[in-house]
Structure 1
Amino acid sequence: MAGRAVLLIPHRGEAGDEAALPAGYHRILAIARAVGGPVQVRTVGEALGLEVGVRRKLEPLRAKMTAGPGGS
């Protein structure tokens, strides 16, 4: 985008409209709901087909699951 910042994930709002989330977040939510309780990053990573034996491969997923879209 030639020097312009592009917002890939919408800012978190009060409504919490799940439909505004990117597809990747929908997959994470579906996996977490299927577990039906607390879910480990490793479990979600396995379901997504990530290489779970290498910690650095799970860190981006951990960030998504912890902060969520637009969060810190």
Structure 2
Amino acid sequence: MAKHHWLFLQYEELIQLQQINGLDIGSSLHSRTTATRMVNVIANEIRKRLITPLVQSESKFTIMTNELPTLSSKCK
């Protein structure tokens, strides 16, 4: 969900869709609150493993951003 920038409001609907499609996804971790917590845990782990060592190494680096609008922000 976070990877594709989907709303967490859709999480429960996606769980229901998977169940309709016959996927056995168990009976827990189906709320959007849980999904938000899982994304936060993963993000914190990424920070700990990737960003913290980079900052601690005191290496010089550059971050480039693309400020061009994406297809999702174009007017229709």
- TM-score normalised to structure 1 length: 0.26
Larger radius of gyration: 2
- TM-score normalised to structure 2 length: 0.25
Higher RCO (C-alpha 8 Å, min separation 6):
1
